[in-house]
Amino acid sequence: MVDLSVSLSGLTLDNPIIPASGCFSYGREFADLFDINILGSFSFKGTTKEPRLGNPTPRIAETQSGMLNAVGLQNPGIDMVVKNQLAYMDRYFHKKVIANISGFSIEEYIYCTEKINNIEQVGIIEVKISCPNVYGGGIEFGTDAKSAAEVTRAVKAVSKKPVYIKLSPNVTDITEIAKACEDAGADGLSLINTLLGMRIDIKKRKPLLANKTGGLSGPAVFPIALRMVYQVYEVVKIPIMGMGGVSSAADVIEMMMAGASAVQIGAATLKNPYICKEIIEQLPIEAEKLKINSLKDIIGVAHI
């Protein structure tokens, strides 16, 4: 029997499979399809201080091996999420969840963290830092090491829960950002977020997305995500949740060998709502083929 359990900052998961934020909402719709309690956990929809309608449509475009999205963090705001979603989540999911929060200022990150602090079911706060700092000239928090560290310190100062910083791949050196977050007190890291891309409608002669550009996800980004997880594992000592184009049990094992302690599934869930269930069922079979007795034993083994 293969031991699929993993640990994230003291939180033990039955397996490393975690649906990624933005692709699983709050889990309620998926709970009608299968028992989502088989999941290790899930990261619920990215949440901001104020309600957001998101970007104008069209905001989704397909690519040859993935998709572009420019949804724009559409969500009802942290207060409504706490009141209407988190208050009832334990009725259909009986494990700890990951709260994905975002903000356009340090104060907004602090506000969301303080709202999440008292939610017993939240085990980890995942902080998305790829939003523009409205008080810092519009530069994304996640593309500047000092800004990333500033957000990390601010959230850690008020958080009662482990804090994982979700890193943007749209940088020259992701290891610099990762190390800055670790030095500022991050308990762990999530990577990667989507890569910036675009498509053009050649008949209309204009971008397919109303926002012009969007985040690329899907199988096309897997080798890039794998490379970045591998690089970050070499410079930090905190746990990593790896993500980006993962769509099979073999991908999960590969990501863990690169250094991930747990693996998030994003775009593949939108294409196949049963993908996480299928991967969990396939993981022990794949592990046995590779003579793996415990998934914990393979974390980072590809490093020489």
Does residue 225 belong to any structural domain of this protein? yes
Distance between CA 230 and CA 38 in Å, rounded?
A: 28
Alpha helix positions (H), 41-200: 78-81, 106-116, 145-158, 174-183
Q: How many domains in the chain? A: 1
Burial class (CB in 10 A: 0-12, 13-18, 19+), 9: middle
pLDDT band of 91, cuts 50, 70, 90 = very high
Provide the pLDDT for residue 38: 98
pLDDT at 23 over 60: yes
CATH number, domain at 267? Answer: 3.20.20.70
**Domain-located, residue 1:** no
Whether 304 maps to a domain, the answer reads no
| Exposed/middle/buried for residue 217 (C-beta within 10 Å: 0-12, 13-18, 19+) | buried
Q: What is the mean predicted confidence (pLDDT) over 132-154?
A: 82
Contact 23, 267 (CB under 8 A): yes
Region 102-127: what's the mean pLDDT? 96
Range of the domain at 82: 6-298
Residue 304: is its pLDDT beyond 90?
no
pLDDT in tens, 179-225: 999 999 999 999 999 999 999 999 999 999 999 999 999 999 999 99
Instruction: Kindly list the catalytic residues.
Output: 131
**In this structure, is residue 180 part of a structural domain?**
yes
Domain-embedded: residue 218: yes
